Structure 1
Amino acid sequence: MEANKEYKFQLIEGDFTPTEALKILMSVINSKIKFHQLDSFSNQIRFNSDASHSKKRIEALTESNEAIKKIIKEAEDKGMKLKINSTIEIVLTQ
């Protein structure tokens, strides 16, 4: 694989009911929160290292979680669906 080459993967694409959107998006966000919680705990225990990056990410993800729940609730209240697109971009660096 070439350095600085960009790869893109479409992970989520489509129209979803509020219930489906909630399941999908909360699964992704909660997975990321758990990753940062475990990473932070592991680094503190093994290396006594600074966990500020993970703590900031957990805070940001938690805020996103709450904002997304409000949007989904609004869609549910109005009988609407949600169009969701999520692309992951990966760049190899040296």
Structure 2
Amino acid sequence: MNELIELIERLNFKISSCESITGGLFAQKFTIIAGVSQYFNGGIATYSDEAKINIAKIKKQTIKKYDSVSKECALEMAINSQSMFKTEVAISFYW
């Protein structure tokens, strides 16, 4: 995490997350570090398909075609998180 924070700080970027299989663990681990609030704009954890569609704005077609824990779904989650939280970097995870 320290390397990520150093990079984000050096580039003067903001970061966000949209998690599912990790249940928000990235955001939890990231935000326990003092001073990180100046870089972390926020994150969401959406576990069910319904939450992914309604909250993370994942297309139903993405889930149907690739699965809700696919690389394609995680990419869409990251892109949507980046847009929602107005960040240069967004994190998401897949199996």
Q: TM-score, normalised by structure 1?
A: 0.28
More helix by share: 1
More strand by share: 1
Report which of the two structures shows the higher radius of gyration computed on alpha carbons. Answer: 1
Q: TM-score, normalised by structure 2?
A: 0.28
